[in-house]
Structure 1
Amino acid sequence: MNKTKKVALITGATSGIGHATAFEFAKQGIDLVLCGRRLNRLETIQKVLSKLINVHILNFDVRDKQETFKAIESLPDKFRRIDILINNAGNAHGLDSIDEGSLEDWDAMMDINVKGLLYVSRAIIPGMTARKSGQIINIGSSAGKEVYPKGNVYCGSKHAVLAITEGMRIDLNTYGIKVGAINPGLVETEFSKVRFKGDKIANTVYQGYKALQPEDVAEVIYFAVSRPAHVNIADVLMFCTAQASSTIVNKE
């Protein structure tokens, strides 16, 4: 007899690390709730992965508190038990000195990276505490471990993710809920196009070396969720071989 399949909810599932994690989890037989702002992409992923596992999609923006709670409350019965929460939705906007930073960029980063993570977590955690089981993985960044020039608010948001992760692990300890963070360095995704707002510099960010690929991070995330019940991967910092820190990258 097979055990009941686990259900994982992944935010930011339409591209990059979230997209790769959805495919990795599906390959491993985990049912999915995929969340994102781009409905057409969600539907495309659902069509492909439904051949392997059960998939439900939720189309909302994590920045919108009411829509977040409404979307998660709408889950059908067979998807309501969220065993694994992957808080992946996040972004970076601009690379400006603090004295020239855009208030709109600051709002976007804090609203998605910090408040969005909190809204989704708050909607999911009560079910986990009631069952006294579950696992939460927050996707942080090497920017949560160190601060680099012109990284100010983005680095601040990712430092907050790590602090919140540690707070979650402490507060949820008595419920037997696993909490951890996966913190990648340079990953070749759409991230830089968003950060540099389509500027030509975005096309050069990953040139001259082999950056991490989304699939690399997805494999580490799956490793974390597939450990025995007594093992919690609390914190991972991962770089590509060419990267030594946020500012040191060995390029050809």
Structure 2
Amino acid sequence: MSTRTALVTGASSGIGEATARELAKQGYHVVVGARRFDRVQRLAAEIGGTAVQLDVTDEESVRACTDALERVDVLVNNAGGAKGLATVAEADLDDWRWMWETNVLGTLRLTKALLPKLIASGDGLIVTVTSIAAMHAYPNGSGYTSAKHAQAVLHRTLRDELLGQPVRLTEIAPGAVETEFSLVRFNGDSERAAKVYEGIDPLYAQDIAEIVGFVASRPSHVNLDTIVVKPRDQAGPGSFARRS
């Protein structure tokens, strides 16, 4: 496969889906991976890409996906999410395990498996979508913020470890993006999820996808290390200018 190839994880909706469409517009052959295979099948058919059933928390699933790829030029570590808003005292260990498996170990599994192919491409790019929660702590968010801090440190460590190799690394840390994120966090409670974005103009998946597209289109000597992007109505986690 001579066409430059990008793998996007968590591509069944939201930022992952929008990113896949954006990279396809740039001429990449996009491999879209997610647990919801029916969704990525439809997406792949629309953008001329390849769909893979991918669960980043499952070693065998990751191995089957990465072994099948002849080449990879861009890896977008997008799969992740949050569950719950419990205090530390009331922490649900199953929620913590899910967040760490998905955000941290999922990123580690994919990145570790694909590093040889990214280096062999001669101009590899790893984009990891973290969050402003990777830079701040906030009450009732310790499970998610700790996972995102760890995911970000993993990514930032690679920046030094791969110095001298033909691989660029970009962390994108979004604030409030209106996707299925809050729906997952609140176990499908759509009313509670909608309140997160009430009274503000949030970011949308396409906003983040266009940033990924910009990063991927930079010449190989340009490395955009960390990009923090928030809605104008947000200063930090929990700090919003809400209109009634």
TM range (shorter): over 0.9
Of 195, 218, 232, which aligns to 1:227?
A: 218
Instruction: Determine the structure 1 residue equivalent to 2:60.
Output: 66
- Identity among equivalent positions (%) equals 38
Instruction: Determine the structure 2 residue equivalent to 1:38.
Output: 36
Distance 2:117 2:188 in 1: 40
Are 1:136 and 2:120 counterparts?
no
TM-score, normalization by structure 1: 0.93
Please tell me the residue identity of whatever aligns with 2:12.
Answer: T
Of 205, 224, 228, which aligns to 1:237?
A: 228
Distance 1:198 1:131 in 2: 40
Distance 1:179 1:45 in 2: 26
Please tell me the residue identity of whatever aligns with 1:216.
Answer: D
Instruction: Name the SS for the 2:12 alignment partner.
Output: coil
The equivalences for 1:195-214 within 5 A come to 195-199=185-189, 200-214=191-205
Distance 1:225 1:133 in 2: 10
Instruction: Determine the structure 1 residue equivalent to 2:169.
Output: 179
Instruction: Determine the structure 2 residue equivalent to 1:108.
Output: 98
Please tell me the residue identity of whatever aligns with 1:169.
Answer: R
| Structure 1 residue ranges without an equivalent (≥5) | none
Are 1:98 and 2:88 counterparts?
yes
In the alignment of these two chains, the number of paired residues is 241
Distance 1:225 1:117 in 2: 19
Cα RMSD between the aligned structures? 1.1
Aligned-pair CA distance for 1:74: 2.2
Q: CA offsets per residue over residues 35-70 of structure 1, 9 Å max, x none?
A: 0000110111011112xxxx1111021000122112
Aligned-pair CA distance for 1:100: 0.6
- Kindly indicate whether the alpha-carbon contact (under 8 Å) linking 2:32 and 2:52 is maintained by their aligned counterparts in 1: yes
Distance 2:121 2:182 in 1: 39
